[in-house]
Amino acid sequence: MESVQAIKQRFEIIGNDPKLNRALEKAIQVAPTDISVLVTGESGVGKEAVPKIIHSLSHRKHAKYIAVNCGAIPEGTIDSELFGHEKGAFTGATQTRRGYFEVADGGTIFLDEVGELPLTTQVRLLRILENGEFLKVGSSQVQKTNVRIVAATNMDMTEAIKGGKFREDLFYRLSTVEIHIPPLRERSEDIHLLFRKFASDFGQKYKMPTIRLQDDAIQLLTKYRWPGNIRQLRNVAEQISVLESERNISLATLNGYLPHANDSNLPAVIARGKKENDFSNEREILYKVLFDMKADLNDLKKLTLKMLQNNDSSKVQEENENLIRKIYGTNGEDIEDVEDIKEEKTRAMKVLPLPEARIESSPEVVKEDKYHFAEEIEEEETLSLQEKEIELIRKSLERNRGKRKAAASELGISERTLYRKIKQYDL
């Protein structure tokens, strides 16, 4: 078994961080077996080096090694890419195609960004992990394959499982051994080493002197959080190597290549929970208003009932002062006298039966009702197109004071047609 240092030299891995060394040790230990491995870590930390190490140290090293970026393959074609398809399985399938799992039989498949796989594909992948069987798209014949799967993701798999984006059983099957690659910000001692390596490589590539950092620039380099990790560090080194004529890089020069370099790295308090009155959308606001209105209405009913039962408004007002203020507001202009409320309700109760008692006795009321019903009958819409046409022509002529040309223009017909209609309907 090769040592960690030998593996670093062989695969050009730079760094002495204990977390990185532990990740490499786990990769060396699981390599001789066929255990499924899940490599986790942020984007740009160099997760693709781990499956290469595992494949090179396994008994499958002479077989094929295929790396597949699951996030780069469209959802409609990923099943065909992974498992193959039969001729005529779908539009454009002019011939039978072998999938990656069939081609890599006996070897290793690296599934990068495995969290981006569709749920249907996850079911197929779970079957391969369980018994090594799969079906081509459009085929009913079960095929066997003997491959080792090493997956990688930068997603929080726990949150993905809770959100229904990833199957829990597939996660546990893939993560028999989980190898975590630490982010670059947790490897502060390795940052300058990596930068010097990249600067040397780009100096040789572009045939120019290697750039060097001043002491204050080195401090900024190590304190920066590097959200893009090693990939971002490599890009910054390449930019400076190409664009800067001065090969001794100062703090100000380096600061120009680091976005948000002056931001504070102090921890901040983030409110995760919702406040009591924090509404996420308008629907919740409407529900809140409706519930408040219902509560106020119930309180008003209780207050009115008490006044009717006790027949002592002053006493009820004293006992329920807070309730009255809650219903009618705290400002004096919004608060009405309880006696006035009682009088209004009593007056309303007395007035209500009066129209019912006078309907038959008063001829004036009966006459008004007859006129009312007659008015309703007149307002009923007719379904006759001829009558509607006559009505519109008449209204247009009245509006335009009998001018046929203006009326025809308003109706959208010719003056000759309007003249014919007037003669036809005798208008």
pLDDT in tens, 30-65: 999 999 999 999 999 999 999 999 999 999 999 999
- Report yes or no on 145 lying in a domain: yes
In a domain, 177, yes or no: yes
Looking at the structure, tell me whether residues 161 and 195 fall in a common domain. no
- Whether 339 and 388 share a structural domain: no
Q: How confident is the model at residue 358 (pLDDT cuts 50, 70, 90)?
A: very low
Identify the helix (H) or strand (E) that includes residue 150: strand 148-153
Q: Which residues, 6 or more positions from 28, have their beta carbon under 8 angstroms from its beta carbon?
A: 1, 2, 4, 7, 53, 57
Residues in the chain: 427
What is the C-alpha separation between 193 and 205, in angstroms, rounded?
Answer: 18
In this structure, what CATH number is given to the domain that contains residue 243? Answer: 1.10.8.60
Q: Does the predicted model carry a pTM greater than 0.85?
A: no
Query: Does residue 244 share a domain with residue 108?
Result: no
Does 156 map to a domain? yes
* Comparison of pLDDT for 350 and 198, the residue scoring more: 198
**How far apart are alpha carbons 298 and 224 in whole angstroms?**
60
Mean pLDDT of 395-422: 84
Helices 282-310/321-328 angle, 10° precision: 140
pLDDT attached to residue 266: 58
Measuring CA to CA, which residue among 187, 149, 221 is closest to residue 23? Answer: 187
Mean pLDDT of 103-111: 95
Measured CA to CA, the distance from residue 213 to residue 256 in angstroms comes to 14
pLDDT at position 393: 86
- Among candidates 216, 210, 129, 141, which has minimal Cα distance to 173? 129
Model confidence at 330: pLDDT above 60: no
pLDDT attached to residue 292: 84
Within 92-206, residue ranges assigned H as helices are 100-103, 119-131, 157-162, 168-174, 188-205
302 shares a domain with 385? no
Residue 390 lies in a domain: yes
Residue 392 has what pLDDT?
85
Residue with tokens 């006078």: 358
* pLDDT confidence of residue 333: 45
pLDDT band at 225 (very low <50, low <70, confident <90, very high): very high
Stretch among 3-17, 63-77, 368-382 having the lowest mean pLDDT = 368-382
pLDDT of residue 90: 86
Same domain, yes or no, for 45 and 172?
Answer: yes
Instruction: Between 35 and 357, name the one with better pLDDT.
Output: 35
Same domain, 48 and 134: yes
Token pair in block for residue 310? 């006790």
| Choice between 2 and 289, residue whose per-residue pLDDT is larger | 289
Please identify, among 240, 255, 270, the residue that sits at the C-terminal boundary of a domain.
255
205 and 305 within one domain: no
- What's the pLDDT at 55? 96
Q: Structurally, how many domains does the chain consist of?
A: 4
Token pair, residue 114, equals 């495995």
Residue finishing a domain among 150, 182, 214? 182
Flag whether pLDDT at 338 surpasses 90. no
Report pLDDT for 365.
Answer: 45
Residue 88 within any structural domain of the chain? yes
Answer whether residue 280 is part of any domain: no
The pLDDT of residue 327: 66
Which residues sit opposite 110 in a β-bridge?
67, 150
Sorting pLDDT into bands at 50, 70 and 90, what band is 127?
very high
Q: Among residues 182, 148, 175, 158, which one has the least CA distance to residue 37?
A: 175
pLDDT in the model for residue 407: 84
Write down the pLDDT at residue 394. Answer: 85
Sequence-distant (6+) residues with CB within 8 A of 126 are: 167, 169, 170, 173
SS3 at position 97 = strand
What values do phi and psi take at 97, rounded to 5?
A: -125, 140
- Least confident stretch, 216-220, 305-309, 376-380: 376-380
Quote the domain boundaries for residue 194: 185-255
- Write down the H helix ranges in 12-118: 18-30, 49-56, 78-83, 100-103
Return d(Cα 341, Cα 304) in angstroms, integer: 9
119 and 69 belong to one structural domain: yes
* First-last CA distance in the chain: 110
C-alpha torsion sign, points 258, 263, 267, 269: negative
Q: What pLDDT is recorded for position 36?
A: 94
What is d(CA 309, CA 8) in angstroms, rounded to the nearest whole number?
Answer: 91
Same domain, yes or no, for 57 and 142? yes
* Residue 267 counted as domain residue: no
Of 52-66, 166-180, 215-229, 298-312, least confident by mean pLDDT is 298-312
Q: Which band of pLDDT confidence, cut at 50, 70 and 90, is reported for residue 271?
A: low
pLDDT for 360-398, tens place per residue? Answer: 444 444 444 544 444 444 445 555 777 888 888 888 888
Amino acid at 311: N
Read off the CATH number of the domain in which 417 is found: 1.10.10.60
Residues whose CB falls within 8 Å of the CB of residue 187, separated by 6 or more in sequence, listed in order: 15, 17, 19, 20
Task: In whole angstroms, give the CA distance from residue 136 to residue 102.
Answer: 10
Mean pLDDT value of segment 309-316: 70
Question: Which of 89-98, 258-267, 324-333, 343-352 has the weakest average pLDDT?
Answer: 343-352
For residue 70, the domain's CATH number is 3.40.50.300
Residues 207, 344 within the same domain: no
CA distance linking residue 66 with residue 107, whole number of Å? 8
Residue 357 has pLDDT above 90, yes or no: no
- C-alpha distances in angstroms, 209 versus 215, 236, 248, 249? 19, 16, 10, 12
What's the whole-number average pLDDT of the chain?
83
The predicted model gives 409-423 an average pLDDT of 84
Last residue of a domain, one of 129, 157, 182: 182
Q: Which of 71-80, 200-209, 229-238 has the lowest mean pLDDT?
A: 71-80
pLDDT > 90 fraction of the chain, expressed in percent and rounded: 56
User: In terms of domains, do 176 and 318 share one?
Assistant: no
Task: Determine phi and psi for 65, rounding to 5 degrees.
Answer: -120, 120
> Same structural domain for residues 192 and 167?
no
**Residue 370: per-residue pLDDT:** 47
> How far is Cα 52 from Cα 10, in angstroms, rounded to an integer?
11
Q: Does residue 248 belong to any structural domain of this protein?
A: yes
**How many angstroms separate the CA atoms of 175 and 36, rounded?**
7
More confident residue, 420 or 249: 249
CA 229 – CA 17 distance, rounded (Å): 15
Q: What are phi and psi of 41, to 5 degrees?
A: 155, 165
pLDDT band for position 415 (cuts 50, 70, 90): confident
Higher pLDDT, 193 or 375: 193
